[in-house]
């Protein structure tokens, strides 16, 4: 039995057991309490995130596995640097250091302009300081960029991952300097006068914590386990 079938079987068995316990308890519970519980359940149901299908779950899991296989070599930061990744900005608690692909294979460069997702060639690698690593940094995740129109819900139209699983974000008013440092508190004129390149609005971005588990989810904007 494959992994997803094992999970499905476990969930089914758990749901059955919970249902049986609830039925037993219902026989000992007053109608007023049962009505309150049902109202609570209905209230929670009305605020559920958009539904996700089994096919979407399988596709997303497959994409993330492909991303892990393709980026395993970048556990060695020296390999990432040899492939054209460079640190942009400082180390940020919850996000680590962003190593952006700035040179090399055109497949990576295309990822900065495309609305299509190439999971095997992330535009950004995420690292955190780790004295035990030969290069002083450990790979913790990847980040993808896409171009897309904004939808009514404030997310990109037709995103490559289901909206119920992945929440994309963008940054505005970013000043990028030749030394790859970043400031977010300058106007366009101030940025240009200091020799930076002003970016009014970045592309859509998402983090995928495929090399260090995040308790808030694989696609969470920040990872509480990253210091």
pLDDT higher than 90, residue 42: no
Answer whether 206's CB lies under 8 Å from 161's CB: yes
What distance in Å separates the CA atoms of residue 226 and residue 134, rounded to the nearest whole number?
19
pLDDT for 198: 93
Q: 183-202 pLDDT, tens per residue?
A: 888 999 999 999 999 999 99
What pLDDT, in 10s, does the model give residues 10-34? 222 333 333 334 444 444 444 444 4
pLDDT score of 80: 97
**DSSP one-letter code for 178:** T
Res 83: pLDDT: 94
The answer on pLDDT for 223 being more than 90 is yes
DSSP code for 193:
H
- Which among 131, 116, 136 has a CA at the least distance from the CA of 63? 116
Split at pLDDT 50, 70, 90, the class of 180 is confident
Tell me if 184 sits within 8 A of 197, measured CB to CB.
Answer: no
Between CA 129 and CA 60 the distance in angstroms is 28
Using alpha carbons, select from 132, 137, 125, 115 the residue that is nearest to residue 70: 125
Mean pLDDT for 192-213 is 94
- The end-to-end CA distance of the chain, in Å, is 38
Please give the C-alpha separations between residue 10 and each of 7, 14, 19, 52, 131, in angstroms, as whole numbers: 5, 6, 14, 18, 39
Count other Cβ atoms within 10 Å, centred on residue 101: 22
Q: What is the reported pLDDT for 14?
A: 32
pLDDT band per the 50, 70, 90 thresholds, residue 36: very low
Pairing of strands 137-146, 204-208: antiparallel
CB atoms inside a 10 Å sphere around CB 7: 13
Beta carbons within 10 angstroms of residue 160's beta carbon: 20
User: What pLDDT does residue 23 have?
Assistant: 42
CA–CA dist 40, 112 (Å, integer): 45
For the stretch 141-173, pLDDT in tens is 999 999 999 999 999 999 999 999 999 999 899
CA distance 198 to 51: 38
Closest CA to 162 of 61, 66, 56: 56
91-142 pLDDT tens trace:
999 999 999 998 765 544 444 445 578 999 999 999 999 999 989 999 999 9
pTM over 0.85: no
pLDDT at 190: 95
* Cβ proximity of 148 and 138 under 8 Å: no
**Whole-number pLDDT of residue 55:** 94
């Amino acid at each position: 039995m494959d992994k997803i079938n094992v999970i499905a079987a476990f969930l089914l068995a758990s749901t059955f057991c919970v249902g049986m316990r609830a039925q037993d308890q219902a026989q000992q519970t007053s109608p007023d309490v049962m009505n309150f519980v049902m109202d609570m359940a209905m209230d929670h149901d009305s605020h559920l995130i958009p539904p996700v299908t089994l096919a979407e779950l399988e596709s997303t899991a497959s994409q993330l596995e492909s991303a892990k296989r393709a980026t395993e070599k970048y556990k060695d930061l020296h390999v990432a640097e040899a492939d054209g990744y460079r640190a942009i900005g400082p180390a940020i608690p919850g996000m680590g250091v962003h190593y952006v692909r700035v040179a090399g294979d055109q497949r990576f460069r295309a990822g900065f302009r495309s609305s299509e997702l190439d999971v095997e060639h992330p535009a950004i690698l995420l690292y955190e300081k780790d004295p035990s690593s030969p290069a002083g940094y450990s790979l913790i995740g990847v980040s993808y960029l896409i171009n897309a129109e904004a939808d009514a819900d404030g997310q990109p139209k037709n995103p490559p991952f289901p909206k119920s699983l992945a929440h994309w974000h963008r940054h505005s008013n970013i000043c990028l300097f030749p030394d790859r440092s970043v400031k977010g508190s300058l106007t366009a004129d101030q940025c240009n006068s200091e020799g930076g390149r002003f970016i009014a609005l970045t592309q859509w971005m998402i983090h995928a914590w495929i090399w260090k588990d995040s308790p808030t989810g694989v696609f969470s904007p920040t990872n509480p386990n990253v210091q």
